[in-house]
Amino acid sequence: MSRRAVILAGGQGTRLRPYTIVLPKPLMPIGEYPILEVIVRQLIAAGFGHITMAVNHQAEIIKAFFQDGAKWGVRIDYSLEDRPLGTMGALTLIPDLPENFLVMNGDILTDLDFADFHDAHVQKGDIFTISAKTREHRIDYGVLDTDEQGMLSGFREKPKATYQVSMGVYMLASRALSHFPPAGAYGFDQLMLDLLAAEDPAYVRNFDGYWLDIGRPDDYALAIEEFEAMRHRFLND
């Protein structure tokens, strides 16, 4: 079964400046490959035969690098936004999306099993599936709880909280597109609220493996370090 993927690669990478002044964020190198090439190689290994890259900022550089995908033995084409359309709005420009397809950000380092993620969504039949990661946040202060009169009612020393965050990897059924506006920007957050309002919510699938968003300089530096140390987890080349 040939699987279809859309990679969102149109962002300006403002959090990664000055690195992204010259290169678009998805072409920032991780080891010997740009992060976007790592993703492409992972998708190919997972049986994705057709990849569409939704591009905008510095689109010509990305298109010149990947061309039609023949170098990697995969079909790559492009959807060009003439203005930013948000995380989901770019999908409205792609006319040939199949019944189920994967959508992901182009700046993620993960060892997620993309084939399993795809097939589990298809089998379950949900309208939208989110790959999620549990994160822990620790507050570095003593937290004071007070009542309405300002009297101390409780105290917590450096408490921590856990929560699930979106990894920027999704599976969509084509019927989700019926919720999209016919034109204009449309974000992941807006779609989630619309699905909740329609009582057809997304399924959240927690992932226990490795995930890192390289959108900030500190995370990008960490990705470079950890990619070399754990290369076998990401690529089988």
How confident is the model over 133-164, as pLDDT tens digits? 999 888 889 999 999 999 999 999 999 989 99
Strands (E) in the chain, as ranges, are 3-8, 29-30, 33-34, 48-55, 75-80, 100-105, 108-110, 128-138, 142-146, 152-157, 160-173, 203-206, 211-213
Report all structural domains of the chain as residue ranges with CATH numbers, in order of start.
3-131+164-234 (3.90.550.10)
Residue 176 tokens read as 């989700």
How confident is the model over 17-71, as pLDDT tens digits? 555 455 788 888 988 999 999 999 999 999 999 999 999 878 899 999 999 999 9
| Cα–Cα distances in angstroms (integers) from residue 115 to residues 74, 203, 207, in the given order | 16, 17, 14
Does this model's pTM top 0.75? Answer: yes
The three-state secondary structure class of 173 is: strand
Euclidean distance between CA atoms 171 and 163, whole angstroms: 21
| 56, 10 contact by CB (below 8 A) | yes
| 212, 109 contact by CB (below 8 A) | yes
What would you report as the CA-atom Rg of the chain, rounded to the nearest whole angstrom? 20
Residue 7 tokens read as 């990679």
Between helix 59-66 and helix 35-45 the angle, nearest 10°, is: 50
**What are residue 145's DSSP bridge partners?**
154
